[in-house]
Each structure stands twice: as structure tokens, then as C-alpha cells.
Structure 1
Amino acid sequence: MKPIFRQLATALLGLAVSSVTAGELITVYKSPSCGCCNAWIKHLRDNGFAVQAHDTRRMTLVKQSLGVPASHSSCHTAEVSGYVIEGHVPAADIQRLLRDKPAVAGLAVPGMPMGSPGMEGARKDPYQVLTFDAVGNSQVYADY
């Protein structure tokens, strides 16, 4: 591919991705004392999302009301465009979800794996982003 066409293709792809999240509101429910939740929120904002955060001590109730499978639970839960986002899901996977619109209830990163967004540190553990639906089916969406 000629350099000018490569630059144009890269610019168009960047516009397509940014248009998916430009100002996209994601509502986050988290514990008032959770530092990694705040780091994940920063990750979302750094990647173009508008974030509205709600502190609550009733996270179990939030997760149950939004249909998060107990096996997929993490420390924070979010909603964006009709999807549920559980845990430290990378912004790029949320952007892909919003662009592709698969027939799932949401995405989850169960637990709190080191190296996931908001859990950066001295080590990076492998982890998966999973889809889930209303009846409990789940599939791997991304491997890290």
C-alpha cells in the first residue's frame, strides 16, 4: 500500500473508533474506598469515554439487578449503551463491543487480575475478557 493511502486508511480507522466513544457515557458503580476502580475510570476517560461514577456500599445488589453472573464478579460494575461491563475490561474491548453490537448482555473480567486496566503494577498476569448473556452463557472475547 502506498504511504498516502496507508495514512488515509489509518486516519479513517481512527475516526471510526473515536466516533464510537466520543462522549459515550459509561455509568460506573463502585465502592467509595476502591482505588483500582478510580484507576479504571481514569483509563476510560483517557480513552474517550465520559464517565459518571456512583459510590455505593451495595455492590452485590447492583450486580444482581444488572444480571452479572456471580462467577464473573469483580469490584465494579458499569453500564454503557445497554451493555453491562463488569470489572477491569480494557477500553478497546468496550469500543469493539459498541462498534460490533453483539447479542450479549455484557463483558466481564472476573476477579482483579494484575496488569488489567486499573490494576497495573510490577507484574502482569494473563487474563480473559468474557462475554455473558442473560441465561448464563459465556465466551472468551479477548485474551491478554
Structure 2
Amino acid sequence: MKLTYAFAAFGLAIATPLPALAGTINAVMYKNPSCSCCETYAAYLEKNGFKVELKPTNDLAQVSAGLGVPANLQGCHSVVIGDYVVDGFVPVELVKKMLSERPAITGIALAGMPMGSPGMGGQKTESWKIYAFTKDGKAPSVYAVE
């Protein structure tokens, strides 16, 4: 009987996505060199289980486009986490949801720099639309509303 439980636990372990198993989730943030709010967002991610490597670049628009982020959703940083891209100040719960559910998308983005969002100061005054995007040129779709 104990052997059956061991095999079941092993099966569950190999079927579970890697980010859910790892204690720390690695991320690489490409950011404008002069943007301090990006570093605040990186610290927010690190407080929530991510290890963020910062890569300042003067060619962020080109980097973000190369990662598949549509021009109208590009912000002051793009974060690569495994096979996904997170652009803007997306709440960590949605990042973790995406990593857990593993949808067939390139990534998610919160356009602009809305007040009260993680990494930005102030108080939240409006709902935010977080968009899912793909590299195939289709229009982004709403992933979540916060």
C-alpha cells in the first residue's frame, strides 16, 4: 500500500508545472536604465517568491517587441519568466495564475503605469485590464480585470 502512495506522489510531482515545485521562481527583467519603479516592481516580485535578475537596456522597445509584446502594451519593463513574458505592473497573483495554468499565450501585460499598481505609488483609483497576448499577430484579449 505504501508503494502505491509513493508512485502516486511521484506521478503528481512530475505532472506539476516546475514553477509550482520550485521554492524560488527565476525571472529576468529588461528595463529602462533610468526607471526606478521597475526596481520597485522587481522587489515586489522578490517578496513574493521570485528571484529577479535586472538587465538595463536602452533598446527596451526592441527587446519587448522581440519577446512578442505588442507595441500598445509595452511599458518600462518586460519580465521573462520561463516561457512567458510579463509586461508592466501585473499583480503577482495573476503572474502565478498564468504560471500555474500554463495557457497557450506568450504573456500578459498591464498597459501604462496605473496608480496603486505594484511598483507604482499611490492608491488604486480604477480597475485594471490585464491583457493576454501571443506572437501570432492576433489582437490581445482580456486575461483578467483587477
TM-score per shorter chain, which class? 0.7 to 0.9
2: CA distance, partners of 1:125 / 1:119: 14
1: CA distance, partners of 2:51 / 2:94: 16
Q: How far 1:142 moved relative to its partner?
A: 1.5
Match of 2:96 in 1: 95
Q: Please list, as runs of the form range in 1=range in 2, the aligned pairs for 1:70-109 lying within 5 A after superposition.
A: 70-109=71-110
Match of 2:44 in 1: 43
Q: How far 1:122 moved relative to its partner?
A: 4.2
Q: Can you give the 5+ residue segments of structure 2 that lack an aligned partner in the other structure? A: 1-16
Contact in 1 for aligned 2:117/2:124 (Cα 8 Å) = no
1: CA distance, partners of 2:85 / 2:26: 13
When normalised by structure 2's length, the TM-score is 0.81
Match of 1:12 in 2: none
Match of 2:3 in 1: none
Contact in 2 for aligned 1:113/1:126 (Cα 8 Å) = no
1: CA distance, partners of 2:104 / 2:48: 24
SS of 1:114's equivalent in the other structure is coil
| Structure whose alpha-carbon radius of gyration is higher | 2
Where in structure 1 do 4 or more consecutive aligned residues deviate above 4 Å?
Answer: none
Structure 1 residues 21 and 35: alpha-carbon distance in aligned structure 2, compared to 1, 3 A threshold: farther
Q: How far 1:90 moved relative to its partner?
A: 1.1
Match of 1:141 in 2: 143
Aligned length: 128
Q: How far 1:21 moved relative to its partner?
A: 5.8
2: CA distance, partners of 1:74 / 1:108: 9
Q: What amino acid maps onto 1:100 in structure 2?
A: E
Q: Please list, as runs of the form range in 1=range in 2, the aligned pairs for 1:31-70 lying within 5 A after superposition.
A: 31-70=32-71
2: CA distance, partners of 1:20 / 1:138: 29
Residue deviations 1:65-107 (CA, integer Å, cap 9, x gap): 1111011111101111111111111111110011000000100
Percent of aligned positions that are identical: 35
Q: Can you give the 5+ residue segments of structure 1 that lack an aligned partner in the other structure? A: 1-15
2: CA distance, partners of 1:141 / 1:40: 20
1: CA distance, partners of 2:22 / 2:75: 23
Structure 1 residues 97 and 38: alpha-carbon distance in aligned structure 2, compared to 1, 3 A threshold: same
